[in-house]
Amino acid sequence: MLKNKKTITVFGLSAFAIILVVVLMAMSQPAKQTDALNDTDILASDVTPSEIDDTAPIAITPEVKPSEITTPEPTAETKANDIPLTVIAEKPEAPELPDTAHSDEPHDEVTDPALTNPAVTPSATPKPVEPTKEAETTPNGGDTNSKGEVYVPGFGWIVPSTAEGKQSGSDGDWDKIIGN
């Protein structure tokens, strides 16, 4: 009896296992087909008409009509289409304060008579500061050097040409119009 029960249990479990395997295989069948299609790297030009399986599933790409194309907002995505023509540089910082300027730090005892006469407001003013002014070493246009060259802005030292003219004319009719 015990042996029969054992046998029934073994057969029952085996049958369940077989059914389970069959069900799982049936469920996994479509996935296998898809993989097979994906693994087959066939270029359109490699397919001949005779090789086309009419029964195979055909992937259809939905046709996008022009009217359905949405215009992207000009946000960060469209920044790739921007050409910055120049580089905008920061403006330079202000120069150091002059000695006569107010400072939070304690001053030395002021002895300059120009700064200690309450009746006369000082007039000393620092000169304007122009840090990017071109150096005075650049020659002026028209300057000449020992080689007989003149300084031409944009091109440097150039030997000028000598102008030579001549007269010309013709015995043609200067009243007859032939051109337009």
Partner 1 sequence: MRKRVISIVLIFVMTFSFSITAFADGDPNVDGGGGGMGSGTSTNSWTPGMDGVRVSIVNVETGSVMGTPIDYTNKTPSSSIIHFGKKSKIHYSNGSSLAPAVGGVYSYINPSPAMPTVISSGGSSNIEAVKRYFCTDGAARMIANDMGISFETLTNGRYKLLLEPIAYFKFEGNQVGMTAHEAALYDQQLSGGLRSKMASLSHQNLPLAMFLERPDLGFSAYSGATSGRQSNDTILAYLGMGIVSYTELPDEPDPDPGQADVEYRINTEVITAVTLNASREINPDSPARVTFTILGRTYTMSNIVIPEGESQLVWCKWTTPATEQTITITVSTSKGYLSENTITAKIVDLDKNPPPDPKADDRNDSFRAVSSPNNPQKTSARWTVWWARWHPFWVWIPNWVWHSSYPSGGYWCDHGWWEDQGWYDFFTDIYTASLTASSTVTPDGKVPTASGNTMKSGYGVNNKVTSSFSSNAPNSHVTGAQTAVSYFPEFGYRTYWRLLDLITRGYSSQLEFKKNQYSTYNQRAHFSPVWYPNGTYQVYTYLMDAWTPDGMLSMNLNSSVNIQGSVFDDWHIAPK
Q: Give the SS3 label for residue 152.
A: strand
* CA 90 distance to own-chain centroid: 19
| CA gap 33, 55 in Å, rounded | 13
Q: Which of 23, 95, 138, 145 binds partner 1 (CB under 8 A)?
A: 95
* Residue 28 interacting with partner 1 (CB under 8 A): no
Residues 52-91 that bind partner 1 (CB under 8 A): 69, 71-72, 74, 78, 81-89, 91
Residues 31-50 that bind partner 1 (CB under 8 A): none
What type of residue is 58?
Answer: I
Pick the closer one to partner 1 by CB: 62 or 172: 172
Pick the closer one to partner 1 by CB: 62 or 131: 131
CA distances from 72 to 6, 66, 67 (A): 71, 14, 14
Pick the closer one to partner 1 by CB: 23 or 110: 110
What is the greatest pairwise CA distance in the chain? 144
Query: Which range in 5-13, 33-41, 50-58, 102-110 contacts partner 1 by CB under 8 A?
Result: 102-110
CA distances from 53 to 37, 39, 45, 169 (A): 12, 17, 16, 89
Residues with Cβ within 8 Å of residue 114, at least 6 apart in sequence: 120, 122, 124
Residue 175 corresponds to which tokens in the numbers above? 């009243």
Residues 113-142 that bind partner 1 (CB under 8 A): 114-116, 118, 121-122, 125-126, 128-132, 140-142
CB 135, min distance to partner 1, A: 14
Footprint on this chain of partner 1 (rule: CB under 8 A) = 69, 71-72, 74, 78, 81-89, 91-92, 94-95, 97-98, 100-102, 107, 110, 114-116, 118, 121-122, 125-126, 128-132, 140-143, 150, 152-155, 158-180
